[in-house]
Amino acid sequence: MAVPTVWSYGALRDHAMYFAEHLPIEDAQRRVLMLVNPGLQEPPATVNTLYAGIQILLPGEQAPAHRHTSNAFRFVIEGSGVYTTVAGERVHMNPGDLLMTPGMQWHDHFHPGDDPMMWLDGLDYPLINKLEAGFHDIYADEFQKSESPDDISTRQYIHGRLNPTWLRRDSPNTPVGNYPWAETERALAAIGDDVDGCEHDGVALEYTNPLTGGAVLPTIGCRVHRLKPGFAGRPRRHTPSTIYHVVRGHGSTQVGDRLLEWHPHDVFVVPGWASYQHHNGAADDDAVLFSYSDEPVMRALGLHREESL
């Protein structure tokens, strides 16, 4: 069973840098630290349906193309310059950006920049493997060629209320390749202090599929939360399992009987039906959290349930 856990970015970063030095990317293909929940070691998972990993790519390195039925996203932690090619489109990555790699889309990564780049990988493979629906293909060439204008899916769909009329899509996945951090910040700033937001989750915004208004992936919903200075959330529990990443700020989350203290770029988990209560530890600064959960699965199966405590 998943247990409340926090992974400190300081320790993860040191490990990632060590592996980057000692393990050539050609041998690894992907260099990822899996955040294995102490209660879910075999098979390894971060919460029962979802996985989190910290991936590192050094300047000049390339991670070759493959695809799999698992849905994935990346949330950029530090560095810039990398582009990931998803289904023939180059999508550029900058800190705070949320990039989509829906199931069965070919993807490879290339780092033409100057500094090591690190990001959080989120995948639903613990769920997909449990469903015995895990398939994986290696691309015929090492890398994909660019087949469309760079970042075009983001440029066409990020506005959300002005969608291309000439593209017909019948897919459960968002057509947006990248939800850039600049847009996320703009959305939070536009609201400002004029609303209180959710008494449990703060000013929490859901990243949505602009064509449906629904979650970005059929199995994963993503959110950004602004916890105002001094925010003390009201406790609650819900059936979705949630993984949090600290974008900025310091604070703590009481999860069941464990107090998880968090700092910038840490990752922590709230297992399904565990009570949780967020605190922003700073009286004069925001805390911003990114989160992802299996809420779309719970809702699709009629299993979504929540309780204020």
In whole angstroms, the minimum distance from the beta carbon of 63 to ligand GTQ comes to: 6
> Measured in whole angstroms, how far is the alpha carbon of residue 37 from the centre of its chain?
17
Cα separation, 63 vs 121, whole angstroms? 14
Say if CB 57 and CB 82 are below 8 A apart: yes
In whole angstroms, the minimum distance from the beta carbon of 83 to ligand GTQ comes to: 13
Quick check: 45 binds ligand GTQ (CB under 6 A)? no
By CB under 6 A, name the one of 37, 49, 55, 85 that touches ligand GTQ.
Answer: 55
Quick check: 53 binds ligand GTQ (CB under 6 A)? yes
By CB under 6 A, name the one of 3, 8, 19, 30 that touches ligand GTQ.
Answer: 30
Quick check: 87 binds ligand GTQ (CB under 6 A)? no
By CB under 6 A, name the one of 121, 183, 201, 266 that touches ligand GTQ.
Answer: 121
In whole angstroms, the minimum distance from the beta carbon of 67 to ligand GTQ comes to: 8
Cα separation, 76 vs 166, whole angstroms? 31
By CB under 6 A, name the one of 13, 31, 92, 107 that touches ligand GTQ.
Answer: 107
Exposed, middle or buried by CB within 10 Å (0-12, 13-18, 19+), for 268? buried
Exposed, middle or buried by CB within 10 Å (0-12, 13-18, 19+), for 80? middle
In whole angstroms, the minimum distance from the beta carbon of 43 to ligand GTQ comes to: 14
Nearest to 51 by CA among 138, 122, 133: 122
Q: What is the token pair recorded at 264?
A: 């910038």
* Residue 81, phi-psi category: left (phi > 0), alpha (psi -120 to 50), beta (remainder): left
Residue with tokens 């690190």: 118
Interface with ligand GTQ in residues 122-181 (CB under 6 A):
123
In whole angstroms, the minimum distance from the beta carbon of 293 to ligand GTQ comes to: 18
Quick check: 237 binds ligand GTQ (CB under 6 A)? no
In whole angstroms, the minimum distance from the beta carbon of 122 to ligand GTQ comes to: 8
Nearer to ligand GTQ, 30 or 299 (CB): 30
Interface with ligand GTQ in residues 64-83 (CB under 6 A):
none
In whole angstroms, the minimum distance from the beta carbon of 147 to ligand GTQ comes to: 19
**How many residues of this chain bind ligand GTQ (CB under 6 A)?**
7
Return residues touching ligand GTQ (CB under 6 A). 30, 32, 53, 55, 107, 121, 123
